Amino acid sequence: MKIYVFYYNESNARVFTKESINQESAALLKRKGYKKHHFEVEAVSAQEAIAKLKKNDDDYLNELKDYSDDLLFVGLAGIATFFKVF
């Protein structure tokens, strides 16, 4: 299995094996407007790496949604308590 890294810009994303990216290629990608994604994954193929990245992103978004829902509930409970007092 190989380690894959991801580079992205506003309209595109690319996946590379970590061993194929050296300083020169990273600098070229940077000049083209790409940024390195913090996520690295070990996978058999690029397609599997992309699937793992998508799953990671989906899991993160679900956790963020749950956190937002919890904050909304706490906020609404606080507002209800405030108006009940007055």
DSSP-assigned letters across all residues of 34-68: -EEEEEEEEESSHHHHHHHHHHHHHHHHHHHHHHH
pLDDT at 2: 95
Domain count, the chain: 1
Copy the structure tokens of residue 25.
């290629």
The residues with which 42 forms a beta bridge, in sequence order, are 3
Domain that holds residue 80: 2-85
pLDDT at 83: 78
User: In this predicted model, what pLDDT tens digit does every residue of 14-50 receive, in sequence order?
Assistant: 999 999 999 999 999 999 999 999 989 999 999 999 9
pLDDT at 86: 64
pLDDT at 20: 95
For residue 5, how many other CB atoms are within 10 A of its CB? 20
Indicate whether this model's pTM tops 0.75.
no
pLDDT at 85 over 70: no
User: In this predicted model, what pLDDT tens digit does every residue of 42-84 receive, in sequence order?
Assistant: 999 999 999 999 999 899 899 999 888 888 888 888 887 877 7
CA dihedral of 28, 40, 4, 18, whole degrees rounded to 10: 50
Copy the structure tokens of residue 66.
């749950």
